[in-house]
Structure 1
């Protein structure tokens, strides 16, 4: 029996774009669906930095609850916002093809790079990497959806703000005054979209299985395994990027102190058929080379 698939999504322009992309893909396969927009607590509280709110999966929790209650059948997320451990009964149903994974700097001129400057970002990972490269700069908190953050950049005297390229590209908001931060390691699964469903919902899981992109799925699972082994939540200063080419996976991962003064980085390659446990092994290398002590310090700071 066919059914109308209720697609849960945050109600920002970007989240709706992502949900509509999944909706179009499902309809192409012959499935009927409807969008069910939901506000998350991460969207409602814009005055407090994410890491201070102390909630794992702050942008996904509301949709998780709606799915468990049966208000929606599936949910579409930016995969980088999804905790490495999903709630009981909820499973990955599709990993969509990855878009641009890079971070970019939207700026008001680049003279400040060689002098004092102020950069805005709500991400500890971006903050730590920026301060690692530009220790003389100041980094201020910036919250809200991409439209809100772009407006705040215009309204303030900051020199620039850091964004995920994919988010701006998807809703045609990427301005001319940007530079690619090729040196910045992205968040695990940045640029990828994840669709989740209830484990017992065979209909939706079967429907979504056709949307999986195998190379993206391999890459983001390695990155998220790396993150999980380091025991960092979505807000920890951890970067990870895996790319798959000619059946070889190239991985680069790093852990930073919040102030950017400490950096533990590694790079490795592995054959695709040997990826099982690869992310964990890479994380172990970071932990064994000083990262373990840094993660303990980080957790103490987060508990305060």
Structure 2
């Protein structure tokens, strides 16, 4: 059997994730090589991307590489993956989840009691922050983890928001940071997804042992919640499902971009009854008036 080709983005975090999958495969006796893929506008495909269902800004190049069989599998931060996978591409494994929460990297916390200025590129984080701190200013912050940490250092912002898992995985969590336990994370935040071609049974069988069932159940609920609200990866939607003994505890939120409108749900169900639970929770949000807010968001985003 030839070594499997693992597709990954070329950022430090993406490479860490791919190497983690590579090590787990090796522990199961499966050899593999990494194939970093850069984003490309010229993909030389006969079929338009939208006809294949390819939509994710962070996953597009890897999706195309899979379809063209340049790689055997691709590793993603699951929160970046659209809820509808492209045609012929399937979920092969969801790895054991890291810390799902957001983390505040700050220069001191005095600003929380008065005027403040924080940075984030996430509409979800911005909306939840403004809901809690309406007098604060929020600046846009984009780039990979290292770039964003550098921008925070070089600007006069009080703080910036990151995913705890991302900083932890590449050992960049600063001492001056704290988990934001009141902020509901992005659906599937902290989870890693491995995808492959639906007909490549050899690869699918090699990836099966990497799947963590508890994580798979929780992220499927969160992504069903997101899909039912019809919110893309950018909409201000948070969802977190966690298993406690035989129960699944769920929190979900939908906000307006300015944080002034907030629709929230907190429910639990038995782990054996998780199918349809995410959809049910999303429907309650829509019935509260979230449907009108989603209509507005779709016109803006």
* TM-score class, shorter: over 0.9
Quick check: 1:122 aligned with 2:117?
no
Q: What's the C-alpha RMSD, in Å, of the aligned pairs?
A: 1.1
SS in 1 for 2:210: coil
Helix, strand or coil for the counterpart of 2:232?
A: coil
C-alpha distance in 2, partners of 1:137/1:57?
31
Matched, 1:258 2:257: yes
Q: Which residue matches 1:245?
A: 244
Aligned positions of 1:133-148 closer than 5 A: 133-148=132-147
What is the number of residues matched between the two proteins? 289
1:130-209 correspondence to structure 2 within 5 Å:
130-209=129-208
TM-superposition CA deviations, 1:181-200 (whole Å, max 9, x none): 00000000000000000000
Distance 1:6 1:247 in 2: 38
Per-residue Cα deviation, 1:162-213 (whole angstroms, up to 9, x for no partner): 0000000000000000111000000000000000000000011000011000
Q: CA deviation at 1:83?
A: 0.2
8 A contact 1:14–1:170 mirrored in 2 = yes
Q: State how far apart, in whole Å, the 2-side matches of 1:218 and 1:259 are.
A: 32
- Deviation >4 Å, runs of 4+: none
Q: Which runs of 5+ in 1 are unaligned?
A: 43-54
What is the CA distance between 1:119 and its match in structure 2? Answer: 0.7
**Do the aligned partners of 1:41 and 1:58 also contact (CA within 8 Å) in 2?**
no
Gapped regions of structure 2 (runs ≥ 5)? 42-53
Q: 1:276, 1:4 → 2: CA distance? A: 36
Q: Distance in 2 between matches of 1:138 and 1:246?
A: 41
Query: What's the CA shift for 1:41?
Result: 6.2
Question: What SS does the aligned partner of 1:23 have?
Answer: helix
Query: By how many angstroms is 1:4 displaced?
Result: 1.2
Equivalent in the alignment of 1:88? 87
SS of the residue corresponding to residue 253 of structure 1 reads: strand
